[in-house]
Amino acid sequence: MGKQVVPESARRRRRPTKNGAVLSERLIVETALRMLAEHGGAGLTARRLGLALGADPSTLYRYFAGMDDLTLAIGAELIGRALNGWKATGDWREDLRRLGLRIHRAYLAHPQAAVLTASRVTGREQEIAADEAILAVLRTAGFPDRDAVRIYHTFIDQSLAFAALDAASLALPAAAREADERMWESAYAQVPEASHPHIAATADLLAARMNHSAYPAALEMLLDSAGAQLDAVVRRAGARPAP
């Protein structure tokens, strides 16, 4: 059972750590992100984090109920970074396109953290703000609530699923990642036409595409599908859609 987190006003250290920093939730999260980049998920422990911060590991539990609570805070931080600077313009397709790509980029900037957190539901302020923003875009555009929730669900899960998939590739050791990438130009290029005519016919195209993320194309497909649904709603209502 996790320890009770001390309220913010009571947990702030009055004295700097051995590294000369004053502990805060944000400092701990940022340090954890650096450690994940260096050591991966298995290397993120309270002991190592305490050493990196110059503080006793037990101090961390004044800020987080446990390491899983810290993991949720890291996930919320990535979502917050994606949302930072994004503003709705009233063009629902462009707004969702920009936000989806920002989420994907924010996670890929920290692949080890993305692998650890993309499947989690944090319930924290940043995640809730992103959910509110997406639903606001959809409902303002004229999607009925049932459709808005379904598209929101598909949009956010697609964004995070591709972030996790692409981050997992980036998190591989360089040699393994490069070997995977060469496979499209080696093994697949050598597949016999007699037994695999469709792969043989498209081998060059596969080699050109498969080492790049499919997320932008998948996102466009989702937006096209949502647009067609909105057009149908508008036709039934006899009104004009939002841009």
Q: In the predicted model, what is the mean pLDDT of the chain?
A: 91
Torsion region of 87: left, alpha or beta (phi above 0 gives left; psi -120 to 50 gives alpha): beta
Structure tokens at 104: 């994907």
Q: What is the pLDDT of residue 15?
A: 57
**Reported CATH class of domain 8-65:** mainly alpha
Report whether pLDDT(105) > 60. yes
The alpha carbon of residue 198 and the mean position of all alpha carbons in its chain are separated, in whole angstroms, by 34
Dihedral of the alpha carbons of 197, 208, 160, 70, in degrees to the nearest 10 = 120
Q: Which has the minimum average pLDDT: 6-20, 28-42, 131-145? A: 6-20
**Is it true that domain 87-171 has CATH number 1.10.357.10?**
yes
d(CA 100, CA 155): 8
* Helix extents (H) in 142-173: 145-170
Of 161, 172, 202, which is closest to residue 184 (Cα–Cα)?
Answer: 202
Report whether pLDDT(37) > 60. yes
* Number of Cα atoms under 13 Å in the Cβ half of residue 80: 14
List the domain boundaries for the chain: 8-65, 87-171, 176-221
Q: What is the pTM of this model?
A: 0.86
Tell me the residue ranges of DSSP E strands in 74-229: none
At 75-85, the pLDDT tens digits run 999 999 999 99
At 148-198, the pLDDT tens digits run 999 999 999 999 999 999 999 999 999 999 999 999 989 998 999 999 999
The band of 1, judged by pLDDT with boundaries at 50, 70 and 90, is very low
Instruction: Select the more confidently predicted residue: 235 or 100.
Output: 100
d(CA 113, CA 29): 11
Q: What is the pLDDT of residue 17?
A: 64
Q: What is the pLDDT of residue 143?
A: 97
Structure tokens at 147: 């459709």
